[in-house]
């Protein structure tokens, strides 16, 4: 990983996760409020709760899956995933 100039998706993700880990709670809450929105955050919270409660013994796998789903949502929002059945 090149922390001074992240260029690959892996480097960008690792850099961002490190920034999140050191971010003050108030700043993180502000980002969620302004970038995600309270309604979408509530939907994601409820979905995560449903997934975690469905099989508590798989917390790590479920957490990883939720992070991947979040990434896929972003890719979809940017037009990188076409609806099934339509030409790509």
Per-residue pLDDT tens over the stretch 24-69? 999 999 999 999 999 999 999 999 999 999 998 999 999 999 999 8
Contacting residues for 44 by C-beta, under 8 A, at least 6 apart: 36, 70
Q: Are 48 and 66 in contact (CB under 8 A)?
A: yes
Contact (Cβ atoms closer than 8 angstroms) between residue 14 and residue 29: no
Alpha-carbon distance of 59 to 68, in angstroms, equals 14
Q: How many CA within 13 A on the CB side of residue 40?
A: 10
pLDDT tier at 1, thresholds 50, 70, 90: low
The predicted structure's pLDDT at residue 80: 87
User: What radius of gyration do the chain's Cα atoms show?
Assistant: 15
């Amino acid at each position: 990983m090149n922390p001074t100039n992240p260029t690959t998706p892996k480097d960008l993700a690792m850099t961002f996760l490190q920034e999140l880990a050191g971010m003050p709670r108030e700043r993180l809450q502000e980002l969620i409020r302004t970038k995600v929105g309270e309604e979408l955050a509530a939907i994601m919270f409820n979905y995560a709760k449903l997934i975690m409660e469905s099989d508590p013994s798989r917390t790590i796998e479920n957490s990883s899956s939720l992070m991947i789903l979040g990434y896929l949502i972003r890719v979809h929002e940017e037009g990188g995933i076409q609806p099934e059945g339509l030409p790509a």
